[in-house]
Amino acid sequence: MPIHHISPAELESRREKGESFDLIDVRSPGEFARIHAVGARNLPLNTFDAAQVLAQRDMDAPPIAVICHSGQRAAQAAGRMEAAGCEQLLLVEGGTQAWQRAQLPVVRGKGSLPLDRQMQMVVGVFILLGVVLGYTVSEWWYLLSAAVGLGLFNAGLTGICPLAMVLAAMPWNRSCAGATSCSVPQPPAQS
């Protein structure tokens, strides 16, 4: 069954009418702790196991709605869910950014900056460092800026950004605050 796209406003309208959803936020725990849609639970994309999520669901479980910061990671998670055989799957268009723009209820807390902003800061520092060191120390340092530019081009071309993966694994992005789950609960051990 294909992935159905849904706007944050439509999802919230359907929830207000009594329809229930399993809203899964696939951002890092740090991003999730900073802000997330009310009712969402956190299953970070870098550890997301679609088969495990589906195995832990009841037959009459509500549809899954997947959300992230802007939609790209949610689309990856939704693709994994679809490949694992999920039949009731919604992709929240525009992610948490669109959710906020629609002024829908969110939970705010302390957490890390969104991964895209962290990446912009790191890339900016490396480019600036390459230019400054290239000008003051050795022209070879300009290659640092070129390498970062090539990495960004590759990320844009393939949709895969190793720097974002490294940042997602950093300790400040793995912290889990609050009562909402940060991982798929493990089934009870059988004796």
Total domains in the chain come to 2
Structure-token pair, residue 177 = 């605050």
Q: How far apart are CA 91 and CA 66, in angstroms?
A: 5
**Does 73 share its domain with 139?**
no
Q: How far apart are CA 149 and CA 89, in angstroms?
A: 36
**Does 48 share its domain with 130?**
no
CA distances from 94 to 22, 46, 51, 66 (A): 18, 20, 25, 11
- What pLDDT is stored for residue 68 in this prediction? 94
The residues that are catalytic are 68
Residue 178 belongs to some domain of the structure: no
Most confident stretch, 37-41, 46-50, 54-58, 186-190: 37-41
Residue 21 belongs to some domain of the structure: yes
Burial class (CB in 10 A: 0-12, 13-18, 19+), 74: buried
Domain that holds residue 142: 115-171
- What pLDDT is stored for residue 111 in this prediction? 66
Question: Contact, 41 vs 181, CB < 8 A?
Answer: yes
- For residue 16, give the CATH number of its domain: 3.40.250.10
Q: Examine the fold and report which residue of 60, 89, 111 is the final residue of a domain before the chain moves on.
A: 111
Q: What is the pLDDT of residues 137-184, one digit of tens each?
A: 999 999 999 999 999 999 888 878 888 888 888 888 776 544 344 443
